Amino acid sequence: MLLEVKSLNKTYHTGIVEFTALKNINLSVEKGEFTAFAGPSGSGKTTLLNCIGCLDRGESGSILLDGVDLMTKKTVELAHVRKENFGFIFQTYNLFPVLTIAENVEMPLKLLQKESQEEINEKVMKMLSKVGLSGYENRRPLELSGGQQQRVAVARALIKKPKLILADEPTANLDSKTGESVVELMKELNVNEGVTFLFSTHDSMVMKRASKLYEIHDGQIKASRKK
């Protein structure tokens, strides 16, 4: 078992109002799965992904990655957990406008400081060709279309071969055709390279591609399906 979430709760405190965004969430993800969270807007998908990805802190329960509980870790340790284990893809791409495409993609490897620049360059070129963006290395993100930007984001998430890629509504900002091609790309990588994906969506077309689906309503898992 790669990831296991046990009775996770999350409450937002905003001044005097409290809002429980996640209630008793239990789920698990196996290596190589292509898992999706589905649910209407405001159901808690982003919150759940943020908690799993250590971008936010849950309130109670546990999140086990390879059997290690992430909930008890310190802030600095969490940064290392993210660096070594997770790749993120955001709805709004979140590329760095001041860096070139290649520099954006190489960033996770630079952070890990394990390889020489030559090795990194080689990997970046390979990765960019995989996502169909060869020849774009020296362009800036803002010169690219939304679909292309999201492909860069996929490349960036994948380059360090993370244990788990977390994608929060990766297609929500794209038209359906471009969105489909991005999901296609993710699926391909999942099948061919065994990358584990965990993503949220409210797009039924994307849900169909998932190998495992959790339906979330009002912060609770209402149903789960496996294909």
Ligand X SMILES: Nc1ncnc2c1ncn2[C@@H]1O[C@H](COP(=O)(O)OP(=O)(O)O)[C@@H](O)[C@H]1O
Of 127 and 183, the one with the shorter C-beta distance to ligand X is: 183
CB of residue 186 to ligand X, shortest distance in Å = 19
Q: Select from another protein, ligand X, Mg ion, none the partner in contact with residue 99, using the beta carbon and a kind-dependent cut-off of 5 to 8 Å.
A: another protein
The answer to the question of residue 197 lying near another protein (CB under 8 A) is: no
Binding to Mg ion by CB under 5 A, coded x per residue (else -) over 40-79, reads ------x---------------------------------
Does 192 contact ligand X by CB under 6 A? no
Answer for the pair 4, 71: CB distance below 8 angstroms, yes or no.
no
Q: Which residue has the tokens 């070594």?
A: 84
Q: Least distance from C-beta 88 to another protein, angstroms?
A: 4
For residue 29 the two structure tokens come to: 């993800």
The pattern of x and - marking residues 37 through 56 that bind another protein according to CB under 8 A reads ---------x---x--xxxx
Q: Which does 12 bind (CB under 5 to 8 A by kind): another protein, ligand X, Mg ion, none?
A: ligand X
Q: State the minimum distance, in angstroms, from the CB of residue 168 to ligand X.
A: 7
Residue-wise DSSP of the chain: --EEEEEEEEEEEETTEEEEEEEEEEEEE-TT-EEEEE--TTSSHHHHHHHHTTSS--SEEEEEETTEESTT--HHHHHHHHHHHEEEE-TT----TTS-HHHHHHHHHHHHT-S-HHHHHHHHHHHHHHTT-TT-TTS-GGGS-HHHHHHHHHHHHHTT--SEEEEESTTTTS-HHHHHHHHHHHHHHHHHH---EEEEE--HHHHHH-SEEEEEETTEEEEEEE-
Query: Considering CB distances under 5 to 8 angstroms, the limit depending on partner class, which of Mg ion, another protein, ligand X, none binds residue 64?
Result: none
Task: Report the distance separating Cα 172 and Cα 116, nearest Å.
Answer: 36
Residue range at the interface with another protein (CB under 8 A); choices 24-32, 72-80, 188-196, 216-224: 72-80
90 binding another protein? (CB under 8 A) = yes
Tokens 């952070």 sit on residue: 111
Positions 8 through 47 that interact with Mg ion (CB under 5 A): 46
Region 14-73 residues binding ligand X, contact defined as CB under 6 A: 14, 19, 21, 39, 41-47
19 binds, among ligand X, another protein, Mg ion, none (CB under 5 to 8 A by kind): ligand X
d(CA 53, CA 45): 12
By CB under 5 A, name the binding residues for Mg ion. 46
By CB under 6 A, name the binding residues for ligand X. 12, 14, 19, 21, 39, 41-47
